[in-house]
């Protein structure tokens, strides 16, 4: 007992340069320097090309307060449309994705084949081309307006990605759970509903958040068929005012705000489904 | 005990995994109320055999009748069969997202369509019987291995099964928890339940078994009542196996 334990096990410190870089004040300083440099370059560049900043004209496109009262601006209305579009498409993608995943896992030859063909076709078609197919080909055939065609296209495109999330999450549930469910006489459908799907939620939440964020972002593509969503509104405002810098900065910030909020919301849900 | 028709009857069962033969011409029967213990070296096919009894595995050839239902792949009666035949697994296979009480009631409520209040009353009764009434509202991960296995036994009992299959129920447990599970199984045997156990717990086997079965290489090598099985085994393989596991 003569020797103290602390002398037996000395945890080596990392080398000095590493310690300095890792310290909080140094990190913050470096971060600010980098951001400052980027901002300055942008400002300097725009000044060199003689860009006329008119930020003061931007707020009216978010909202206005006139004698007639409060009114949402074009960007806010576009955002609502974007959210509506993304939400409807996401619900469609969830339903379709679950069906495709279950077909693929069914073990039925036909089911697997149908799911595989769907996946390969959708995953290997560019989103823009898929949108043209829905709007210019399926649109006239089935009499779809541009809004419906957009929802269907985004839903189908993301269903392919979401079905893979479902499949991976379902496969992550321990095989013993199926046996446990079978051994008390559950049918396959009951085992899915009461035992396997509830447990797989935990595995699918993180990638599903990513898909929600992707959905909001890829919904911007429907601006090419002039659905009146956020990106289209941006383009319209620019064609009226030529304020391309201000408008695109604002639109990007609005998208960022939405996707960050979504991620934060899901992290709360994730905590609820964490292992007990 | 041996009166009437057997509740499990296997005739010339074969089971192949690809070209590997897991079961080789199995003939055996279990009568209502009988306690059968199956032992044998690992890979001898004993788990495969009892998994065939509730159709978690399907035999490749031969005939298997359990509780009057002929078992074969794709049979519409398999779900009805599984409600009559409870199974306790080596790894418990409890549902980790449900509380102990929900683990016990989900089968009766969803499969047997028992009213919730009745299912819960039953569940509490069976938890009492496996000596853990106070754990009803916990999640499986909050229990010890021995407690989890007792919950798994109670889960099967809640289905009011007439036959209980045990697939090495104590092999995944720490030594100090084995007895609490075996005690519950002995108590169950005393109620006259039909039991088929795959286990290496020879003390338990001596205490409760009516019939001992020794398997090796997918075949039943020896079937005997325990007194004879443990003192004068006939085959050399069985003798060697018993010497090995009884040595300690």
CB contact under 8 A, A183 and B87: yes
The pLDDT-based confidence of A54 (bands split at 50, 70, 90) is: confident
Q: What's the gap in Å between the CA of A162 and the closest CA on chain B?
A: 23
Residues of A within 8 A of B155 (CB-CB) are 184
CB contact under 8 A, B56 and A183: yes
| pLDDT at position B107 | 92
Residues of A within 8 A of B156 (CB-CB) are 183-184
**What average pLDDT is seen over chain A?**
87
Residues of A within 8 A of B137 (CB-CB) are none
Chain A within 8 Å of B95 (Cβ-Cβ)? Answer: yes
- Per-residue pLDDT tens over the stretch B60-88: 999 999 988 898 888 888 888 898 899 99
Share of chain A above pLDDT 70, in %: 96
Chain B within 8 Å of A148 (Cβ-Cβ)? Answer: no
Residue linked to tokens 């549902």: B95
Chain A within 8 Å of B93 (Cβ-Cβ)? Answer: yes
Q: pTM for this structure?
A: 0.77
The angle subtended at Cα A162 by Cα A160 and Cα A165, nearest 5°, is: 120
Q: Which of B48, B88, B97, B108 to mutate to test the interface with A (most CBs of A within 10 A)?
A: B97
In contact, A124 and A187? CB cutoff 8 Å: no
Residues of A within 8 A of B48 (CB-CB) are none
Rounded CA gap, A89 and A159, in Å?
9
With a CB-CB cutoff of 8 Å, which residues 217-276 of chain A face chain B? 275-276
| pLDDT at position A1 | 47
CB contact under 8 A, B79 and A187: yes
The pLDDT-based confidence of A165 (bands split at 50, 70, 90) is: very high
Q: Which of A172, A180, A184 to mutate to test the interface with B (most CBs of B within 10 A)?
A: A184
With a CB-CB cutoff of 8 Å, which residues 153-182 of chain B face chain A? 155-156, 159
**What average pLDDT is seen over chain B?**
90
- Per-residue pLDDT tens over the stretch B143-173: 999 999 999 999 999 998 889 999 999 998 8
Q: What is the CA radius of gyration of chain B?
A: 18
| pLDDT at position A5 | 55
Residue closest to B88 by CA, chosen among B161, B182, B169: B169
Chain B within 8 Å of A197 (Cβ-Cβ)? Answer: no
CB contact under 8 A, B93 and A177: yes
Residues of A within 8 A of B56 (CB-CB) are 179, 182-183
- pLDDT at residue A4 above 60? no
The pLDDT-based confidence of A3 (bands split at 50, 70, 90) is: low
Q: What's the gap in Å between the CA of A170 and the closest CA on chain B?
A: 14
| pLDDT at position B1 | 46
- pLDDT at residue A183 above 60? yes
- Per-residue pLDDT tens over the stretch A206-230: 888 888 888 999 998 988 888 888 8
Reported ipTM:
0.89
CB contact under 8 A, B86 and A186: no
Residues of A within 8 A of B106 (CB-CB) are 184, 194
């Amino acid at each position: 007992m003569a020797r103290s334990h602390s002398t037996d096990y000395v945890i080596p410190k990392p080398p000095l340069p590493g310690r300095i870089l890792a310290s909080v004040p140094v990190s913050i300083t470096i971060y600010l320097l980098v951001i400052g440099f980027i901002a300055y370059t942008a400002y300097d560049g725009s000044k060199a090309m003689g860009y006329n900043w008119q930020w003061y004209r931007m707020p009216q496109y978010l909202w206005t307060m006139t004698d007639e009262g409060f009114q949402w601006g074009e960007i806010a209305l576009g955002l609502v449309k974007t959210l509506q579009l993304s939400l409807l498409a996401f619900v469609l993608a969830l339903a379709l994705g679950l069906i495709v995943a279950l077909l693929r896992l069914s073990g039925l030859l036909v089911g697997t084949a149908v799911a595989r063909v769907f996946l390969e076709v959708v995953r290997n078609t560019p989103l823009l081309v898929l949108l043209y197919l829905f709007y210019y080909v399926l649109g006239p055939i089935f009499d779809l307006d541009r809004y419906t065609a957009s929802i269907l296209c985004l839903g189908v495109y993301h269903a392919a990605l979401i079905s893979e999330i479902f499949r991976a999450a379902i496969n992550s549930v321990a095989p013993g759970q199926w046996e446990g469910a079978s051994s008390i006489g559950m049918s396959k459908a009951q085992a899915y509903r009461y035992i396997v799907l509830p447990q797989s939620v935990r595995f699918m939440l993180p990638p599903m958040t990513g898909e929600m964020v992707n959905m909001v972002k890829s919904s911007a593509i429907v601006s090419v068929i002039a659905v009146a969503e956020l990106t289209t509104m941006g383009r319209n405002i620019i064609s009226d005012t030529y304020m391309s810098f201000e408008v695109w900065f604002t639109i990007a910030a609005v998208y960022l705000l939405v996707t960050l909020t979504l991620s934060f919301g899901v992290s709360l849900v994730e905590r609820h489904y964490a292992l007990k | 005990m041996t009166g009437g028709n057997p509740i499990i009857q296997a005739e010339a069962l074969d089971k192949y995994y690809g070209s590997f033969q897991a079961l080789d011409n199995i003939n055996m029967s279990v009568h209502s109320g009988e306690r059968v213990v199956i032992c044998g070296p690992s890979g001898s096919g004993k788990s495969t055999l009892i998994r065939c009894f509730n159709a978690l595995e399907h035999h490749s050839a031969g005939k298997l009748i359990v509780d009057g239902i002929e078992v074969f792949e794709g049979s519409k009666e398999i779900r009805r069969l599984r409600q009559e035949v409870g199974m306790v697994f080596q790894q418990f296979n409890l549902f980790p997202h449900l509380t102990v009480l929900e683990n016990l009631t989900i089968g009766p409520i969803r499969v047997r369509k028992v009213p919730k209040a009745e299912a819960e009353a039953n569940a509490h009764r069976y938890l009492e019987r496996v000596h853990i009434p106070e754990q009803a509202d916990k999640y499986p991960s909050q229990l010890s291995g021995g407690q989890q296995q007792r919950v798994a036994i109670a889960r099967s009992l809640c289905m009011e099964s007439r036959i209980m299959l045990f697939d090495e129920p104590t092999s995944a447990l720490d030594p100090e928890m084995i007895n609490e599970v075996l005690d519950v199984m002995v108590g169950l045997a005393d109620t006259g339940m039909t039991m088929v156990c795959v286990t290496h717990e020879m003390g338990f086997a001596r205490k409760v078994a009516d019939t001992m079965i020794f398997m090796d290489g997918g075949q039943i090598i020896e079937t005997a009542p325990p007194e004879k099985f443990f003192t004068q085994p006939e085959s050399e393989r069985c003798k060697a196996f018993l010497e090995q596991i009884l040595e300690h």
